[in-house]
Amino acid sequence: MERRTLFVLFSILLAGTPTLGQRDDSSEALVSVNVGVILDMGTLVGKMCWTSISMAVDDFYAANRNFTTRLVLHLRDGEASVISAGSAALGLLHKEGVLAIFGPQKSAQARFLSDIADKARVPSISFTATSPLITSSARSYFVRMAINDSAQVDAVASIVRYYAWREVVIIHEDTDYGNGVIPYLIDALQANSIRVPHRTVIPPSATDDQIKEELLNLKMIQTRVFIVHMSLPVGTRVFSKAKAIGMTTKGFAWIVTDGIANLVDSVDHEVISAMQGFVGVKPYVPRTAELEAFIRRWKRKYRNENPEAERIDPSIFSLWAYDSVRALALAVEKVEVKRFSFEKPRIFGNSTDLDALIVSKMGPTILKAVIETSFTGLSGEFRLVNGQLQSSAYQIVNVVGNGQKGIGFWTPKRGLSPQLGSPTNKDELGAVVWPGDSTSVPRGWEITTGGRRLRVAVPVKHSFFEFVRFDEDPVTKENVPTGYSIEIFDKVMKSLPYYVPFDYFHYAIRNGVSASYDLLLQQVPAGDYDDVAGDVTILARRFQYVDFTLPYTESGVYMILWLCSLCFFVFTGFILWGIERMHNNEHFMGPPLQVISNVLYFTFSTFVFAHKQELKSSLSKTVIIVWLFAVLILTSTYTASLASILTTANLKPAFNDVGELVRSGKFVGYSRGSFQMDLLKPTFGSKLIPLSGPDKYASALTKGTVNAVLHELPYVKLFLKKYCKGYTIIGPTQKTLGFGFAFRKNSPLLSDVSKAVVTLMQSPLMDDIEKRWMLTNDTSQCPQADAGGSHITLHRLRGLFVFTGIISSMALLVACIENLLGGYQNPRVRPPEPTLEEEDEPLADDEQPPVDVGLPEIGGPGRDSGAKLEDSGGRGLSMTENSATSQGHREVTV
């Protein structure tokens, strides 16, 4: 190794002489700039980066032969420890007088070395130390020519959110690299409402048995999504053990950060087989012709230097190392000095190597030049902001077969997308082959561990058995829960897209304890039960014990009918306009504004049965008759509805609100054991009387023991269905969300069950459940309560509108067909005036023959006296007979 290193350095020095360098100005001396390189040459990353660095020096000066400076590399093996890296740095400063140092490789080493660099004013340039624990703001001479690990956390969180996983487990190594990004990653996950119930830390020194034990503990928990942030040596050991214990099979999901994803193409077959189905995040590198040529040359050089390597491709670290050399070479040339010098401190008494550390006079100038350098490199756009490389995009990859395939990209502005630069396809990824060669997205958790089934508690009630009751199974002879609440829970659980085994357990509700349901819910966090199914009211105070699903009590949405009626007014007017226009009706012709006003006036005047326009077509008359019929029904319906509302408003109960009950000092009943006792006690005090069940309510109200009963709406509605006469509902006095199913806090089932509850509530199946359980046998003489019965809805009048619309449309269609077949005259040609026929009726004895007044005859003798004439100006003339004259002359009026 040392012999090969010395040979490389000797070759570089020879190539840097004016003669061998073939400089244009041979008289100008070539300035050698000593640069240190500290890598762990026993690792894959160390070897890859050294190959890139040595290639970068040769390539750069071959392309820039007129430069007056040349980097001279001095390689030191920093191994894996901080002490080794620090010792190597001190040796490079004192013995070689380096003006900059590439490396060291690990984040912990870089953090220590950056303190030395600050004191010596020598830029410490790292392309592998990505931990956020190291910042340029705290260490002035630390330059990160790599992307900070914190830049990828949003991409990882976006993947978890995309697949709707709500919980993840983080596995990371116990180093500066592994620990530095965890706070940023957790914040990004929580910002997307993703929980991290557990995280596992693996020290690099952990044995295989210790790693296996940690993984077995993870296998016992519900979460099945793992985010791994490790270096490759530690990660490969974890993946090997995970495969051995069955944690890389169907149902599991693994996401690896760029520390591993960048090197997938360079690991051996055993490691790649353990990572099948993994999803990774890594910085995106555009594939250019220059990059492809570099990869071919890099592979040849790496195999020559490392003949034992099986399969290898340059990683992003290799590209960053190559670009870092170019950035430093450009910066050094930009400084334009012929000689670099150091300042030695004055030492008094005992001293250490750190006390005697030399200080570079040109350090600040070189640092400034490095930070301001920008160009397009092999890794993409090379630009430093605040002393570190900026990220532009991340590629999402899937480990399949012998390598990885791209499934999408993530950018800070557009998020996830299948292709870069396609904003219309935002939030989409390609198909993924998951662990176990599965194409189905893992659910992300398993509800059972070791065959354990959910324990669902059911309250044993003493009244209102319609909600929860126990019947004997005819086969097993066991008491099984049934009822409104239980049937809903059963159907909801069966509708989930996965199988959830569970068992019901009885829990006795004691009548004399008002907080029995609270005591039941407290058994869930204690571990006795996992869930509670029954008529459990959702209260704010109960969220300290459990989480509730969305309520499954009845709710409804009503549509607005007036808008539909208005639309049919306009629709009918359009039909009439079309038909009458084909019949040359002058009221439906003319300027557009006039036509629109006439049409609207005609259709709206129908509402009061008065309009002046004359319809010419029988089809139009048919349409208007049907529309008059519809309007008559609409007006009658709304009149009846208004009368019903006004009548109902006059039927007032004895008490309008709780305030009247309190002021009158009346006794009030409540359900024994209900949570409402705590709410009502401060208001009613000794006036509260506990009652048990609907029969007791009716008896107490009939006898006058109580004047009102306060209970939740589902119970009150059930009571009124059985005892419907003489009672009514007022209120509400307190508001609750209704009944819900209780689950263990942060249960992964909660969201899916809530969604299933809403789906069931909106389906016709819910009506069948309510009819089966909420309608009793004693309601034959009672009017069925209907929450929306007094409302006029579009659904109830849909037949009327459909009938009207069909008739109107058919009339317009028939008119169009007749018009096309020539059944009507051309509206642009006015038909000729009819001629007046001569009547051959004899005159009476006392009548005189018509007197010729010099006007042209219209229609000949015998024409009626009311005949109209036309003068030359087109004005109308009327001729009437004057019966008062005996001479029989006629009076002509113009």
Which pLDDT score, from 0 to 100, does residue 333 have? 93
Which pLDDT score, from 0 to 100, does residue 860 have? 43
Given a contact cutoff of 8 angstroms between Cβ atoms, the answer to whether 176 and 107 are in contact is yes
Residue reference for tokens 């994803």 = 261
Name the pLDDT band for 556 (thresholds 50, 70, 90): very low
d(CA 515, CA 76): 73
Cα of 879 vs its chain's centroid, Å = 85
Distances (CA, A) of 583 to 615, 620, 628, 807: 9, 10, 22, 19
Question: What mean pLDDT comes out for the span 589-610?
Answer: 64
More confident residue, 378 or 884: 378
Name the pLDDT band for 20 (thresholds 50, 70, 90): very low
Name the pLDDT band for 645 (thresholds 50, 70, 90): low
Question: What mean pLDDT comes out for the span 674-702?
Answer: 69
Given a contact cutoff of 8 angstroms between Cβ atoms, the answer to whether 38 and 85 are in contact is yes
DSSP secondary structure string for all residues of 653-682: -S-SSHHHHHHHT--EEEETT-THHHHHHH
CB within 8 Å of 764: residues ≥ 6 apart: none
Q: Which of 681, 678, 644 is nearest to 540 (CA)?
A: 678
Given a contact cutoff of 8 angstroms between Cβ atoms, the answer to whether 140 and 122 are in contact is no
Task: Label residue 781 exposed, middle or buried (CB < 10 Å: 0-12, 13-18, 19+).
Answer: exposed
More confident residue, 485 or 580: 485
Which pLDDT score, from 0 to 100, does residue 802 have? 82
Given a contact cutoff of 8 angstroms between Cβ atoms, the answer to whether 461 and 470 are in contact is no
Residue reference for tokens 């003798």 = 861
Name the pLDDT band for 397 (thresholds 50, 70, 90): very high
**Which of the listed ranges 152-156, 671-675, 741-745, 836-840 does the model predict with the highest average pLDDT?**
152-156
DSSP secondary structure string for all residues of 749-802: THHHHHHHHHHHHTSTHHHHHHHHHHS-TT-TTSPPP-TTTTS--TTTTHHHHH
Q: Which of 561, 553, 515, 580 is nearest to 712 (CA)?
A: 553
Which pLDDT score, from 0 to 100, does residue 880 have? 41
- Hey, what are 29's tokens? 């001396």
Cis peptide before 732 (omega within 30 of 0): yes
- Write down the CATH superfamily of domain 658-722: Periplasmic binding protein-like II (3.40.190.10)
Bridge partners for 342 per DSSP? 360
Question: What mean pLDDT comes out for the span 246-274?
Answer: 93
Dihedral pair phi/psi, residue 255, rounded to 5°: -125, 125
d(CA 764, CA 839): 77
**pLDDT tens by residue, 493-510:** 999 877 888 999 988 876
DSSP class of residue 455?
E
Which pLDDT score, from 0 to 100, does residue 589 have? 72
Element (H, E) at 37: strand 31-39
Specify the range with the lowest mean pLDDT, choosing from 172-181, 472-481, 717-726, 843-852: 843-852
CB within 8 Å of 268: residues ≥ 6 apart: 310, 311
Name the pLDDT band for 890 (thresholds 50, 70, 90): very low
For 386, other C-beta atoms within 10 Å of its C-beta total 11
Given a contact cutoff of 8 angstroms between Cβ atoms, the answer to whether 122 and 360 are in contact is yes
Name the pLDDT band for 792 (thresholds 50, 70, 90): low
More confident residue, 383 or 581: 383
d(CA 518, CA 536): 9
* Res. 251: pLDDT tops 60: yes
Given a contact cutoff of 8 angstroms between Cβ atoms, the answer to whether 78 and 38 are in contact is yes
d(CA 779, CA 494): 32
Given a contact cutoff of 8 angstroms between Cβ atoms, the answer to whether 42 and 308 are in contact is no
Taking CA 807 as the corner, what is the angle to CA 803 and CA 812, rounded to the nearest 5 degrees? 150
Question: What mean pLDDT comes out for the span 300-315?
Answer: 88
Given a contact cutoff of 8 angstroms between Cβ atoms, the answer to whether 31 and 68 are in contact is yes
Which pLDDT score, from 0 to 100, does residue 581 have? 73
More confident residue, 49 or 667: 49
Given a contact cutoff of 8 angstroms between Cβ atoms, the answer to whether 49 and 43 are in contact is no
More confident residue, 608 or 125: 125
Dihedral pair phi/psi, residue 387, rounded to 5°: 80, 15
CA atoms within 13 A on the CB side of 466: 20
Which pLDDT score, from 0 to 100, does residue 661 have? 62
Name the residue type at position 27. S
Name the residue type at position 490. D
d(CA 374, CA 363): 19
d(CA 121, CA 283): 31
Distances (CA, A) of 425 to 163, 422, 428: 16, 6, 6
Which pLDDT score, from 0 to 100, does residue 407 have? 95
Question: What mean pLDDT comes out for the span 252-256?
Answer: 97
Buried/exposed code over 797-815 (b: 16+ C-beta within 10 A; e: otherwise): beebbeebbebbeebbeeb
Given a contact cutoff of 8 angstroms between Cβ atoms, the answer to whether 744 and 525 are in contact is yes
* Res. 858: pLDDT tops 60: no
Name the pLDDT band for 317 (thresholds 50, 70, 90): very high
Specify the range with the lowest mean pLDDT, choosing from 45-49, 350-354, 514-518: 350-354
Given a contact cutoff of 8 angstroms between Cβ atoms, the answer to whether 276 and 248 are in contact is yes
Specify the range with the lowest mean pLDDT, choosing from 2-6, 126-130, 246-250: 2-6
Residue reference for tokens 């790496």 = 302
* Res. 395: pLDDT tops 60: yes
Which pLDDT score, from 0 to 100, does residue 667 have? 77
CB within 8 Å of 358: residues ≥ 6 apart: 93, 94, 97, 120, 342, 343, 344, 345
Question: What mean pLDDT comes out for the span 559-573?
Answer: 67
Question: What mean pLDDT comes out for the span 811-833?
Answer: 66
Phi and psi based region of residue 374 (left: phi greater than 0; alpha: psi -120 to 50; beta: remaining): beta
* Res. 859: pLDDT tops 90: no
Which pLDDT score, from 0 to 100, does residue 559 have? 44
Residue reference for tokens 């009244």 = 463
Which pLDDT score, from 0 to 100, does residue 52 have? 96
Name the pLDDT band for 673 (thresholds 50, 70, 90): low
Which pLDDT score, from 0 to 100, does residue 510 have? 64
Given a contact cutoff of 8 angstroms between Cβ atoms, the answer to whether 140 and 123 are in contact is no
Question: What mean pLDDT comes out for the span 860-875?
Answer: 41
Residue reference for tokens 């870092």 = 324
Rg (CA), the chain: 46
User: CATH 3.40.190.10 in the chain, residues?
Assistant: 454-552+739-774, 658-722
* Res. 838: pLDDT tops 90: no
* Res. 158: pLDDT tops 60: yes
More confident residue, 424 or 69: 69
Bridge partners for 199 per DSSP? 170
Q: What is the dihedral of CA 854, 857, 861, 867, to 10 degrees?
A: -110
Task: Label residue 420 exposed, middle or buried (CB < 10 Å: 0-12, 13-18, 19+).
Answer: middle
For 842, other C-beta atoms within 10 Å of its C-beta total 7
**pLDDT tens by residue, 399-456:** 999 889 999 999 988 899 998 876 655 678 999 999 999 999 998 888 654 557 889 9
For 856, other C-beta atoms within 10 Å of its C-beta total 6
**pLDDT tens by residue, 113-138:** 999 999 999 999 999 999 999 876 67
Q: Which of 457, 461, 468, 469 is nearest to 506 (CA)?
A: 457
Q: How much is the mean pLDDT over the chain?
A: 78
* Res. 231: pLDDT tops 90: yes
d(CA 542, CA 552): 17
Bridge partners for 458 per DSSP? 506
Element (H, E) at 260: helix 258-261
Q: Which of 419, 415, 409 is nearest to 427 (CA)?
A: 415
- Hey, what are 280's tokens? 């990774």
Is the dihedral angle over the CA atoms 668, 674, 678, 679 positive or is it negative? Answer: negative
Distances (CA, A) of 445 to 268, 295, 431, 441, 500: 30, 41, 21, 12, 12
Question: What mean pLDDT comes out for the span 609-637?
Answer: 72
**pLDDT tens by residue, 742-786:** 999 888 888 889 999 989 988 888 888 888 877 644 444 444 444
d(CA 98, CA 36): 6
Helix and strand element counts for the chain (H, E): 27, 31
Domain 149-286+392-425 has CATH 3.40.50.2300: yes
**Which of the listed ranges 426-430, 652-656, 719-723, 726-730 does the model predict with the highest average pLDDT?**
426-430
For 370, other C-beta atoms within 10 Å of its C-beta total 24
Question: What mean pLDDT comes out for the span 97-114?
Answer: 92
- Write down the CATH superfamily of domain 454-552+739-774: Periplasmic binding protein-like II (3.40.190.10)
Name the pLDDT band for 16 (thresholds 50, 70, 90): very low
Tell me the percentage of the chain whose pLDDT exceeds 70.
Answer: 70
d(CA 77, CA 39): 5
More confident residue, 677 or 391: 391
Name the pLDDT band for 28 (thresholds 50, 70, 90): low
CATH of domain 31-148+300-389: 3.40.50.2300
Is the dihedral angle over the CA atoms 703, 706, 708, 712 positive or is it negative? Answer: negative
